[in-house]
C-alpha cells in the first residue's frame, strides 16, 4: 500500500465566479477587470492570459479579512510580475521554499507516526494522538493570511484538467512547472477541517493496522487446527496472500483457503467475534462462529460494526471540505478529477468494459482446468500463473529468511537488487543511499521523501525468524515505490514537477519490481510460456481489483446520496452492492452467486477511493512492460519517471507512445489463450 503526501497539499479546484462556500465573492468582476486593465497598460499583452487568470483567481479567493477593494488593487499591482526573467527568479525562490516546507512537514509527520507504524516496542495510546497531528494542517490558512498564497495564484494561476489536456502537449518544461505551481492555492480550507480529516485517516489506519487474525487458532468442524500455531495474518493483505500460497498444496491447501474465506465473510458481515481480532487467547470455528477458550465454548460479542463506523467517519470527515472546493464539490471529484486527473466516469468505463469482456470467462475456464475443480469465490486471487505458484513455499520461506533475517540485511542488499534490475553500480548505490528500511507493525508501506536530502522509507514486516517469502514479495513491491519516489524527486528537472501523475503510476513501477522477485533471488524462470502466463496473470489481477474498485466508487456515490446514513445502513449497502457487482461481473465466470467477498479490501476502510489506482496501475504496468521488452529497464525507467508530474495521458504518450488503454492487455490475453497453457 502506497502512502501519499499528507493533507497539507490541498490541490482542490474552484470556479472563478464562485465565492468561498457558495457566497457572493467579495471582489467584484468590475474591480478585477479594472486591475487587469491597469496591469495590461503596465506590461502589455504578452502576459494577458496569465494576468486574467491570476487576477480572477485571487479575486475569487479574497475575503473582507484580506482587505478592501483598494487593498486588493494595490496588492495585484505591486506583486504581479510581468518580466519573464523576474518571473523565473520568483518561481525558483518559491520552489526552494516549498521544498523546505513540504519536506520538513513530511519528515515531522513520518516521525510522529513512528509509534503507530514501526514495530520497535509497545504501541501506546498516545501514539495515535501523535500520529493524527498534521504539522502542515495550517499551511493553507497561514499562507493566505500572509498573502504568499495570493502572490502564487496571481503569478502562477490554476489551469483546469480540460485546459491541461488541451494545452499541455504544447507547453515546455518550465511552463508545466509554472502550471503545477498554480495547483497549490485554489481553495481556502480551514485548518480545523484538515485536522479532522487527518484524525479520521489516522484512526482508520490504526484500526486496520491492528486487524490481525490468529489463524493458528482457527478450528475446522472436527476441532482440528490447520495453520502454524503462531501464525497471525493481517486483514485483508495477509489473509489474501495465504489463500494465494495454498494453490499448490492439494486438499490441505483447499481446506485452508476455505477457512480463510469464511473468516473474510465474517469480517465483511461484522459477525466476527470481537475477541478473536488481534487476540491469541481464543480458538474459533469461523463456520459455526463458535469461540473456545481452554477447550470450552465461551459466549462472546460480535465486532460492533466498527469496520463501517470507520468508513462512515472517513466520509463525514472528507465531506467537511466540500463547501470550500466548489469546482470539485465532492471527495469523489477531488479524488479523480483533482487527484488522479482522470475523471471518475472515464475510470468506471474502463473497468466495466474490461470486466464485461469475453476474455474473463475464457480465463476463468482455464483456471478451473488448472485447479481441477469448479471455481470458488476466493479464486479471484488465483496465483497459479506466476512462476512461484509451482514452487515449494517452505523452500522459498527458508531462502528469504536466511537472506533477510532483519531490516538491516534487506537495506544492505538494496544496491545488489538494483544492479540485478539493470541499474549501473554507481546509479544503484546512489538510489539505494536515499532509501532506508524500517520494521512495520502492519503489512508494510512505502513513504517517499518530499525534499532532497531526506530518505524514502520502506516499512516491511519481518518475523522473529526472518523475512518469509510473502513478506519479501511485498517488500520488493514497496521497494519499487521507493525507487520511483527517488527517481521522480532527485532526477526531475525542477521541484514542482517532482512525483508522478497519480499513484497508479507508482503502483505500475512497484508491480514491475514485484514480478521480478524470484529472479532477484537467483531463481530463473525458463518456462517458454512465461510471457503468455504473465499476460493472463495481469489480466486476472486487473479483473479482480476492478470489481473491488467499482464497489468503492459505488459506495461513495451512495454515501453522498444518503449523507445521514448510520453505520448499520452503510454495512447493509456495502454488502448488498458487493453482491450486485459480483453477480453481474463475477458469478457468470466463477459459477457462485451472492457472495460479498469484494468488500473485504482494507483499502476501502483506511485509504478512501485509493483502490482505482491499482487496476489503472496494472494497465500502465502492462503497457510499460510491453514497451520495455528488449530495452534496458533501468535506463528507460530513469527516462520515463524523470518526466515527473505531467497529466496521465500525456505522461503515457511520452513514456510508451500511446494513452492508457485496456486494449493491449485484452489483445495479449487473446494471444495467450491460444497457446497450450
pLDDT for the residue 342: 93
335, 560 contact by CB (below 8 A): no
What three-state secondary structure class fits 181?
A: helix
What does the alpha-carbon distance between residue 328 and residue 324 come to, in Å, rounded to a whole number?
Answer: 9
Return the number of other C-beta atoms located less than 10 Å from residue 524's C-beta.
9
User: Of 218, 204, 307, which is closest to residue 257 (Cα–Cα)?
Assistant: 218
- Enumerate the H helices of 321-456 as residue ranges: 331-333, 344-355, 359-371, 393-403, 407-420, 425-432
pLDDT for the residue 210: 92
pLDDT for the residue 320: 97
CA–CA distances in Å: residue 494 to residues 324, 479, 509, 591, 653: 30, 24, 21, 53, 21
What does the alpha-carbon distance between residue 569 and residue 378 come to, in Å, rounded to a whole number?
Answer: 26
451, 114 contact by CB (below 8 A): no
What does the alpha-carbon distance between residue 146 and residue 528 come to, in Å, rounded to a whole number?
Answer: 64
What does the alpha-carbon distance between residue 599 and residue 630 come to, in Å, rounded to a whole number?
Answer: 40
pLDDT for the residue 625: 87
For the record, the C-alpha cell of 453 comes out as 536530502
- Give 466's strand partners: 463
Strands 435-439 and 456-460 come out as: parallel
Residue 582: partners with Cβ closer than 8 Å, 6 or more residues away: 377, 547, 593, 594, 595, 596, 597, 598
pLDDT for the residue 22: 44
pLDDT for the residue 92: 97
What does the alpha-carbon distance between residue 655 and residue 643 come to, in Å, rounded to a whole number?
Answer: 9
pLDDT for the residue 250: 94
The stretches in the chain having pLDDT less than 70 are 1-24, 387-390
For the record, the C-alpha cell of 429 comes out as 548505490
| Residue 570 CA from chain centroid, whole number | 23
512, 621 contact by CB (below 8 A): yes
What does the alpha-carbon distance between residue 254 and residue 262 come to, in Å, rounded to a whole number?
Answer: 12
What three-state secondary structure class fits 658?
A: coil
What does the alpha-carbon distance between residue 610 and residue 460 come to, in Å, rounded to a whole number?
Answer: 20
pLDDT for the residue 387: 66
Q: What is the largest CA-CA distance in the chain?
A: 88
Dihedral pair phi/psi, residue 601, rounded to 5°:
-65, 130
Q: What is the pTM of this model?
A: 0.81
pLDDT for the residue 310: 98
Exposed e or buried b per residue across 427-436, where buried means at least 16 C-beta atoms within 10 angstroms of its C-beta:
bbebbbebbb
Which sequence spans correspond to the domains of the chain? 20-186, 209-269+271-304, 309-322+329-385+526-673, 392-508
300, 291 contact by CB (below 8 A): yes
Residue that the C-alpha cell 515546455 belongs to: 172
- Output the DSSP codes for 49-99: HHHHHHHHHHHHH--GGG--HHHHHHHHHHH---SHHHHHHHHHHHHHHHH
pLDDT in tens, 538-583: 999 999 999 999 999 999 999 999 999 999 999 999 999 999 999 9
pLDDT for the residue 388: 64
CA–CA distances in Å: residue 436 to residues 285, 397, 455, 474, 510: 41, 23, 7, 16, 17
Amino acid at each position: 500500500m502506497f502512502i501519499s503526501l499528507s493533507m497539507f497539499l490541498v490541490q482542490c479546484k474552484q470556479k472563478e465566479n464562485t465565492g468561498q462556500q457558495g457566497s457572493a465573492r467579495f471582489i467584484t468582476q468590475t474591480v478585477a477587470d479594472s486591475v487587469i486593465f491597469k496591469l495590461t497598460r503596465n506590461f502589455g499583452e504578452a502576459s494577458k492570459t496569465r494576468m486574467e487568470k491570476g487576477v480572477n483567481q485571487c479575486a475569487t479567493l479574497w475575503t473582507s479579512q484580506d482587505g478592501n477593494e483598494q487593498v486588493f488593487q494595490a496588492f495585484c499591482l505591486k506583486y504581479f510580475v510581468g518580466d519573464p526573467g523576474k518571473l523565473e527568479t520568483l518561481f525558483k525562490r518559491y520552489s526552494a521554499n516549498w521544498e523546505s516546507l513540504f519536506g520538513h512537514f513530511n519528515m515531522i509527520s513520518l516521525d510522529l507516526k513512528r509509534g503507530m507504524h514501526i514495530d520497535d516496542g509497545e504501541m501506546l495510546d498516545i501514539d495515535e494522538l501523535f500520529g493524527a497531528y498534521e504539522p502542515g494542517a495550517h499551511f493553507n490558512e497561514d499562507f493566505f493570511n500572509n498573502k504568499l498564497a495570493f502572490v502564487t495564484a496571481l503569478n502562477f494561476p490554476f489551469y483546469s484538467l480540460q485546459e491541461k489536456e488541451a494545452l499541455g502537449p504544447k507547453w515546455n518544461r518550465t511552463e508545466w512547472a509554472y502550471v503545477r505551481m498554480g495547483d497549490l492555492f485554489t481553495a481556502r480550507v480551514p485548518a480545523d477541517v484538515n485536522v479532522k480529516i487527518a484524525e479520521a485517516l489516522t484512526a482508520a489506519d490504526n484500526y486496520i493496522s491492528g486487524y490481525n487474525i490468529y489463524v493458528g487458532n482457527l478450528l475446522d468442524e472436527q476441532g482440528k487446527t490447520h495453520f502454524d500455531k503462531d501464525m497471525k495474518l493481517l486483514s485483508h493483505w495477509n489473509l489474501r496472500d495465504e489463500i494465494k500460497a495454498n494453490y499448490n498444496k492439494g486438499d490441505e491447501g483447499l481446506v485452508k483457503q476455505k477457512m480463510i474465506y469464511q473468516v473474510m465473510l465474517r469480517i465483511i458481515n461484522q459477525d466476527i467475534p470481537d475477541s478473536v481480532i488481534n487476540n491469541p487467547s481464543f480458538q474459533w470455528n469461523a463456520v459455526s462462529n463458535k469461540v473456545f477458550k481452554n477447550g470450552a465454548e465461551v459466549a462472546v460479542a460480535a465486532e460492533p460494526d466498527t469496520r463501517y463506523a470507520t468508513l462512515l467517519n472517513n466520509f463525514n470527515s472528507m465531506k467537511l471540505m466540500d463547501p470550500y472546493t466548489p469546482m470539485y464539490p465532492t471527495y469523489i471529484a477531488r479524488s479523480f478529477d483533482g487527484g488522479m486527473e482522470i475523471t471518475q466516469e472515464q475510470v468506471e468505463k474502463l473497468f466495466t468494459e474490461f470486466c464485461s469482456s469475453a476474455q474473463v470467462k475464457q480465463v476463468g475456464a482455464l483456471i478451473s482446468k488448472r485447479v481441477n475443480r469448479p471455481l470458488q469465490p476466493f479464486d479471484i486471487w488465483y496465483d497459479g500463473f506466476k512462476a512461484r505458484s509451482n514452487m515449494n513455499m517452505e523452500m522459498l520461506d527458508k531462502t528469504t529468511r536466511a537472506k533477510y533475517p532483519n531490516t538491516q540485511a534487506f537495506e544492505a542488499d538494496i544496491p545488489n537488487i538494483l544492479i540485478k534490475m539493470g541499474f549501473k553500480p554507481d546509479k544503484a548505490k546512489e538510489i539505494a543511499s536515499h532509501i532506508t528500511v524500517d520494521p512495520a507493525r502492519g503489512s508494510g508501506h512505502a513513504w517517499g521523501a518530499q525534499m532532497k536530502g531526506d530518505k524514502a522509507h520502506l516499512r516491511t514486516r519481518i518475523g522473529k525468524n526472518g523475512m518469509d517469502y510473502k513478506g519479501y514479495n511485498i517488500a520488493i513491491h514497496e521497494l519499487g515505490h521507493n525507487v520511483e519516489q527517488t527517481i521522480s524527486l532527485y532526477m526531475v528537472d525542477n521541484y514542482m514537477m517532482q512525483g508522478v501523475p497519480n499513484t497508479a503510476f507508482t503502483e505500475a513501477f512497484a508491480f514491475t519490481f514485484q514480478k521480478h522477485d524470484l529472479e532477484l533471488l537467483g531463481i530463473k524462470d525458463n518456462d517458454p510460456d512465461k510471457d503468455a502466463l504473465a499476460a493472463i496473470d495481469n489480466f486476472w489481477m486487473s479483473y479482480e481489483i476492478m470489481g473491488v474498485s467499482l464497489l468503492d466508487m459505488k459506495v461513495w456515490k451512495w454515501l453522498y446520496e444518503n449523507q445521514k446514513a448510520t453505520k448499520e445502513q452503510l454495512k447493509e449497502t456495502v454488502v448488498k452492492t458487493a453482491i450486485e457487482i459480483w453477480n453481474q461481473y463475477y458469478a457468470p465466470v466463477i459459477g457462485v452467486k451472492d457472495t460479498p467477498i469484494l468488500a473485504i479490501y482494507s483499502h476501502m476502510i483506511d485509504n478512501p477511493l485509493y483502490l482505482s489506482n491499482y487496476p489503472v496501475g496494472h494497465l500502465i504496468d502492462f503497457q510499460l512492460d510491453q514497451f520495455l521488452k528488449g530495452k534496458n529497464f533501468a535506463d528507460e525507467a530513469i527516462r520515463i519517471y524523470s518526466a515527473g508530474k505531467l497529466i496521465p495521458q500525456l505522461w503515457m504518450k511520452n513514456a510508451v507512445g500511446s494513452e492508457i488503454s485496456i486494449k493491449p492487455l485484452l489483445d495479449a490475453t487473446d494471444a495467450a489463450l491460444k497457446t497450450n497453457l
